[in-house]
Chain A
Amino acid sequence: MGSLSVLELAGLAKRYAGFEFGPVDLAVGEEVLCVLGPSGSGKTTLLSLVAGLVTADAGSVSLDGRSLDGLPPERRNAGVVFQDGALFPHLTARENVAYAATDEGRVADLAALLELDDVLDRRPATLSGGERQRVALARTLAADPDVLLLDEPLSSLDAPIRRRLREDLHDLFAALAVPVVYVTHDQRTATALGDRLAVLREGRLEQVDTPRSVLERPATRFVAEFTGCENVYEVPVVGSGEGVVRVRLGDATLRVRSATAKPTSGATVTACVHPSRVRLDGAVGALDGPSAPDQSFPGTVRRWLDEGDQYRVVVALDAGVDLAATVSPATADRLASLDGAAVSVAIPPDAVHVLS
């Protein structure tokens, strides 16, 4: 790893009444690792263990080869940004940022970087949610942490402020030369900010990989469903050859490009298709991009939802299964008039992922 800073967790575990965290093994370099999981999956526990706010039952945490085990929080130099900022209410924004700053110049630099100049002399109670998080971030960065830990810092913000701050965070992280662990239950934030995702479920890591890989090749059914890949089917294998596996989807046969998995005929596998990877063609012609269906399945639009930036369409395939697809509003404009009408669903073989 050379001089790159690395955060390493080895066999890290913590037991609570009714909840068991870990054991978790994880290495984070100078990158942004987004820990994604539902509430109660142990995301905050993970951060607390690294920051030393909670004592581990087993395992170890090290930073750049230096063991943090047994060290109190103040000697770990692990910066934490809490969910709603956890700003000191009796101090002004400036005093908050200066709380752990080494010199006054640092406060000014961070105020400029995070656009805080106008709010520096105000108390946290008078700040907006977005301003509070910027102050919290500045306060944490002022201490020059060796690792940055963020606990859902955007979750309580309104959508426009959240988007804006997400973009700022993205740029900020890129300029930081320390490991960043960012905890969230929001898949969009995780994929937008993370160089890698770690999906946590009931205190254990289900998958650690790039956002693309996690979305397109989820390791488990849980990861698939949690990241929005709701088309998950238990399907029998009917044949295989030359990197292609044929599975039975309802009454139809689905060809799946499979480089890694080589299931034997007759076995049952779990296959998933991300809604964004399927294409809808209407009876009136291609609806969504050029029509190149190397395998298409006829079906009927069962229902559709306008999600604002995209439409979610559920199609009842004639083969006897339901399949969700997301389409652009432009496509949906034409589909809307076809409510309940016949469509053709194109599923490229490499859009289907077989869970191992």
Chain B
Amino acid sequence: MHPTRSRSESTGRRAGVDWLSVSFLLGALLCCYYLLPVVALVVAQPPGVVLARLGDPTVVSAAATSLVAALASATLAAVFGLPLAYWLARAEGRARTLVTALVVLPLVLPPIVSGMVLLTVVGPTTLLGSLAAANGVPLTRSLAGVVLAQTFVASPFVVVTATAAFEGVDPRLEAASRSLGKRRLTTVRRVTLPLAWPGVLAGVTLAFARSMGEFGATVMLAYYPRTMPVQIWVSFTTLGLDAAFPVAVVLVGVAVVTLVVLDRLGTTPWGR
């Protein structure tokens, strides 16, 4: 009746090994490897030192830059990423496959390479970059540069996560809404988006978290104004590891809050 199960059972008995325990043990080792450094970092930093360092104007400035830029990037990612995600969820065929590959590209590119390719488009010597700079909006070494770098790297999180969320909404619900006289936009607003909301919010949260931690592309486009990761790197290279720790603790805090938010979004309120 259950050939797979009985086979694995008999194999387990013959070898005398409980494979479930073994896999748990291996997994537990990996979990320790995740957890230990984070705990060590937080424990190693006396709260007094962290708090004192947090009052440092360079740290405050970096935190402000990171927060403003990440909020802007997450918003941009949502504004442009959600429509694309909806299109991907409803489209079929070759175009969909190609666009999906394109969306995933920034995820698989090393961030520093992302920064390089962005520089070839918005760098100060490029047509776009010089034109923007001439009009008072420099695209590098500026907050705009930080946002451009973060959006490039983080927006795929919105598209990929929201696409899955939109795909989870039964197309017949949209058909029902439209046959009830509601236009497509109304349908998306009143049916699709509320149903996909947890996934959409998860995607935007991920994009925000990724933006907060973005370093590679950002450092290529905008060494100034410094974001927190860039500040960590500068502190590390000039003053050593200890000087970089307090800001790192702040970023760990951001990551933990992100996890809590994502966990909350995992449950849908209407029980389906």
Contacts and interface: CB of A to CB of B under 8 A. Distances in A.
Contacts of B270: 89-90, 123, 125
Interface in A48-92: 51-53, 72-80, 82, 86, 88-90
Interface of B: 170, 172-173, 175-184, 190-191, 194-195, 269-272
B177 A99 contact: yes
Given A86-B170, A89-B195, A125-B271, A143 B180 contact: yes
B172 A86 contact: yes
A79 B179 contact: yes
Chain A CB within 10 Å, residue with most, of B175, B179, B195, B272: B179
Contacts of B269: 90
Interface string A106-135: 000000000000000001011000000000
Nearest to B182: A74
Given A82-B172, A89-B195, A90-B194, A77 B181 contact: yes
Nearest to A136: B176
B178 to A, nearest CB: 4
Contacts, number: 68
B176 A82 contact: yes
A88 B189 CA distance: 13
B27 to A, nearest CB: 34
B173 A74 contact: no
Contact of B180 (A90, A99, A125, A126): A99
A312 interface: no
5 contacts: A74-B179, A80-B175, A82-B172, A82-B176, A100-B180
A73 B177 CA distance: 9
Given A89-B272, A123-B270, A76 B179 contact: yes
Contacts of B175: 51, 53, 73, 80, 82, 86
Interface residues of A, number: 25
A140 interface: yes
A4 B271 CA distance: 44
Contacts of A139: 176, 180
A74 B178 contact: yes
Nearest to A73: B178
Nearest first, the 9 closest Cβ-Cβ pairs linking A and B are A100-B180, A73-B178, A80-B179, A86-B176, A86-B172, A125-B271, A90-B270, A89-B272, A74-B178
Chain B CB within 10 Å, residue with most, of A52, A78, A88, A99: A88
A234 B195 CA distance: 57
A75 B194 CA distance: 24
B178 A125 contact: no
A80 B173 CA distance: 11
Contacts of A74: 178-184
A140 to B, nearest CB: 7
A177 B164 CA distance: 43
Contacts of B181: 74-75, 77, 100, 143
Nearest to A144: B181
A134 to B, nearest CB: 15
Contacts of A79: 179-180
B176 A80 contact: yes
A51 B180 CA distance: 10
Contacts of B182: 74, 99-100
Given A51-B179, A82-B172, 12 more contacts: A52-B179, A53-B178, A73-B175, A75-B181, A77-B181, A86-B172, A86-B176, A90-B194, A100-B181, A123-B271, A125-B270, A139-B180
B178 A72 contact: yes
B44 to A, nearest CB: 46
A86 to B, nearest CB: 4
A180 to B, nearest CB: 15
Chain A CB within 10 Å, residue with most, of B178, B191, B194, B271: B178
A52 B180 CA distance: 12
B173 A78 contact: no
